[in-house]
């Protein structure tokens, strides 16, 4: 008989919960087969999100091949693709996978469990992607937490699952290779992978991910608590893209940090960020409609602006607010954006441009190489004050003050907005206040080389406050 290991957002051969369980539970006469399903309906071709993910898939498939676990790509909606697979390989009687606990993935998994049972394929699934699964941390009365701090207080007391150092290769087993039966699919995949820009292919794989993690532990964690707020300092771990694909195990991250002597309080601040990831995962599972509906029901009737002009200015980094424009350029150029900037640009879109947070969320979902629906929707609803922020709607970031505080000498702005490179620091955060003679002197005419602010922050502040108060 044959047992399939269905990989998804767990692109690694080490500390992979389902894979290790499969290897430990299998009988000696059972063959193992690596599977990856590509559902063309799910692809967001041409976006950075899609390209970064498939760059990781390509690398993983090469790594798996080296470890003698060839990956069989099956193409189509999951039921159809597995039906074809089962017809081609009737000996497939068991399947292992790491389940998705929220969003589209959860619905797919539920449907697939029915499918597998109909086809007499025994399915075994595991929680692998998070330190704590969505039902693990509840209030004493059994209800789900709604705000972060009490959730975190419980989270930090709980023992974390172990990092299992075993790799597929340690079991001394060779995976089955039926790829000649799937030539059409191989061709489809080769064409898909050929579209991935080469620059994205460098930022993939376990070794790369471990490099980021080690650098962070050795050099950065001790000052993380302070540095993490300043976009010009590379003070964060930059591992989000690897957690999103599962190239790096969250347990490896947690335990390496926890076992290291580095960091002190700063390390706890970092571990708390990993808790946010679990928290938003749980919140999404509890609020399955949250991609389209405000979590706080009282704000579902808010009349957000659908004005495309404002949205376009924000996307094309032409808002006239230097820190916002710099953040959006970092996103558009690299596919990653510093957390402080994600908060600033999301607050700006919703609270200064009064634009629907769903439009911002959708844009991030295309552009982010670390796109994770739970964290992204959670972050956007937090910024729009419609989600889990414990502070009421009057948390409104002043983009100019944010720039002055978190990029006080303008290093980050000057790097990403070269039009402003020579603007004296006194005007860098408000170029519209620069006298014309200085504008000419530094070669940056406001209104021509760099836009005037597209809104008046104080005026928009009053507008958003009345919008919320009216609810």
Residues forming the site for ligand FAD (CB under 6 A): 228, 236-240, 243-244, 273-274, 276-277, 280, 339, 342-343, 346, 364, 368, 370-372, 375-376, 379-380, 383
CB of 402 to ligand FAD, least distance (A): 13
Return the DSSP state at 102.
Answer: S
Residue 5 or 257 having the CB closest to ligand FAD: 257
Q: Is 370 assigned to a binding site?
A: yes
Rounded to a whole number of angstroms, the minimum distance from the CB of residue 393 to ligand FAD is 16
User: How far apart, in whole angstroms, are the C-alpha atoms of residue 204 and residue 62?
Assistant: 12
- Closer residue to ligand FAD (CB): 13 or 346: 346
Helices (H) and strands (E) in the chain, counts: 22, 5
Considering the candidates 6, 155, 314, 357, report the single residue annotated as catalytic: 357
Residue (278 or 419) nearer to ligand FAD, CB: 278
d(CA 388, CA 384): 10
263, two tokens: 């960091």
Give the residue carrying structure tokens 């076992």: 259
Least distance to ligand FAD, CB of residue 274, Å: 5
Q: CB of residue 140 vs ligand FAD: minimum separation in angstroms?
A: 25
Q: Which of 6, 155, 304, 382 is catalytic?
A: 304
Active site residue 314: no
**Residue 339 annotated as catalytic:** yes
Dist CA 7 CA 230 (whole Å): 36
Question: Residues 65, 167, 262, 273: which is the catalytic one?
Answer: 273
**Residue 223 annotated as binding site:** no
Residue 237, annotated as binding a ligand: yes
State whether the Cα torsion 390-391-392-398 is positive or negative: negative
Catalytic residue status for 380: yes
Within 10 Å of residue 266's Cβ, how many Cβ atoms? 17
Task: State yes or no: is 6 an active-site residue.
Answer: no
Is 3 annotated in a binding site? The answer is no
CA atoms within a 13 Å half-sphere pointing along the CA-CB vector of 50: 17
Q: Kindly give the interhelix angle for 308-315 and 322-334, rounded to the nearest 10 degrees.
A: 70
393 carries a ligand binding annotation: no
The distance of closest approach from Cβ of residue 37 to ligand FAD in the complex, given in angstroms and rounded to an integer, is: 22
Answer for the pair 181, 88: CB distance below 8 angstroms, yes or no: yes
In angstroms, what CA-CA distances link 386 with 20, 215, 278? 40, 37, 19
Q: How far is the CB of 379 from ligand FAD (least distance, A)?
A: 2
Which helix (H) or strand (E) segment is 74 a member of? strand 71-75
Q: How far, in Å, CA of 97 to CA of 102, rounded? A: 15
Residue whose entry in the numeric block shows the structure tokens 């309906």: 41
Check if 336 is active-site.
no
Catalytic residue among 6, 155, 276, 382: 276
Name which of 293, 295, 276, 192 is nearest 236 in CA terms: 276
Nearer to ligand FAD, 228 or 429 (CB): 228
* Residue showing the smallest CB distance to ligand FAD in the complex: 379
Q: 317: alpha, beta or left, given left = phi > 0 and alpha = psi -120 to 50?
A: left
Q: Is 297 a catalytic residue?
A: no
Which of 6, 314, 336, 380 is catalytic? The answer is 380
Is 317 annotated for ligand binding?
Answer: no
Ligand-binding annotation for 240, yes or no, is yes
Q: How far apart are CA 457 and CA 471, in angstroms?
A: 22
355 is in an annotated binding site: no
Q: Catalytic positions, please?
A: 273, 276, 304, 339, 357, 380
Residues placed in the known binding site: 224, 236-240, 270, 273-280, 370-372
Please state the residue numbers annotated as binding site for FAD: 224, 236-240, 270, 273-280, 370-372
């Amino acid at each position: 008989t044959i047992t399939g290991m269905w990989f998804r957002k767990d692109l690694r051969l080490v500390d992979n919960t389902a894979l290790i369980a499969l290897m430990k539970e299998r009988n000696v006469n059972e063959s193992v087969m690596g599977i990856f399903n590509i559902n063309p309906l799910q692809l967001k071709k041409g976006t950075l999100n899609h390209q970064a993910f498939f760059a990781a898939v390509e690398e993983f498939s090469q790594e798996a091949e080296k470890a003698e676990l060839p990956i069989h790509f099956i193409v189509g909606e999951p039921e159809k693709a597995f039906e074809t697979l089962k017809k081609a390989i009737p000996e497939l009687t068991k399947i292992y996978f790491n389940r998705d606990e929220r969003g589209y993935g959860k619905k797919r998994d539920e449907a697939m469990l029915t499918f597998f049972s109909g086809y007499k394929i025994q399915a075994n699934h595991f929680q692998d992607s998070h330190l704590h699964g969505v039902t693990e941390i509840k209030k004493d009365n059994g209800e789900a937490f709604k705000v972060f701090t009490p959730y975190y207080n419980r989270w930090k007391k709980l023992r974390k699952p172990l990092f299992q150092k075993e790799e597929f290769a340690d079991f001394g087993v060779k995976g089955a290779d039926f790829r000649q039966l799937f030539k059409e699919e191989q061709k489809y995949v080769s064409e898909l992978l050929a579209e991935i820009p080469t620059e994205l292919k460098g930022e993939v794989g376990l070794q790369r991910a471990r490099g980021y993690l080690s650098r962070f532990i050795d050099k950065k964690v001790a000052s993380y608590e302070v540095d993490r707020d300043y976009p010009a300092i590379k003070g964060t771990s930059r591992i989000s893209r690897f957690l999103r694909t599962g190239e790096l195990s969250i347990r490896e991250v947690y335990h390496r940090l926890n076992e290291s002597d580095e960091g002190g309080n700063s390390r706890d601040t970092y571990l708390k960020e990993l808790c946010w990831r679990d928290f938003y995962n749980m919140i999404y599972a509890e609020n399955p409609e949250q991609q389209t509906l405000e979590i706080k029901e009282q704000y579902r009737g808010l009349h957000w602006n659908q004005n495309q002009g404002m949205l376009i200015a924000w996307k094309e980094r032409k808002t006239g607010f230097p820190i916002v424009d710099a953040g959006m350029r970092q996103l558009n150029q690299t596919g990653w954006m510093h957390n402080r900037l994600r908060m600033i640009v999301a607050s700006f879109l919703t609270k200064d441009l009064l634009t629907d947070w769903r439009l911002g969320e959708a844009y991030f979902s295309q552009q982010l190489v670390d796109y994770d629906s739970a964290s992204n929707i959670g972050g956007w609803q937090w910024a729009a004050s419609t989600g889990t922020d414990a502070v009421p709607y009057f948390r409104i970031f002043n983009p100019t003050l944010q720039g002055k505080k978190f990029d006080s000498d303008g290093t980050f702005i000057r790097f990403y907005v070269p039009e402003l490179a020579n603007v004296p620091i006194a005007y860098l955060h408000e170029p519209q206040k620069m006298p014309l003679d200085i504008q000419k002197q530094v070669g940056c005419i406001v209104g021509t080389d760099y836009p005037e602010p597209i809104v008046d922050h104080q005026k928009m502040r009053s507008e958003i406050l009345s919008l919320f108060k009216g609810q």
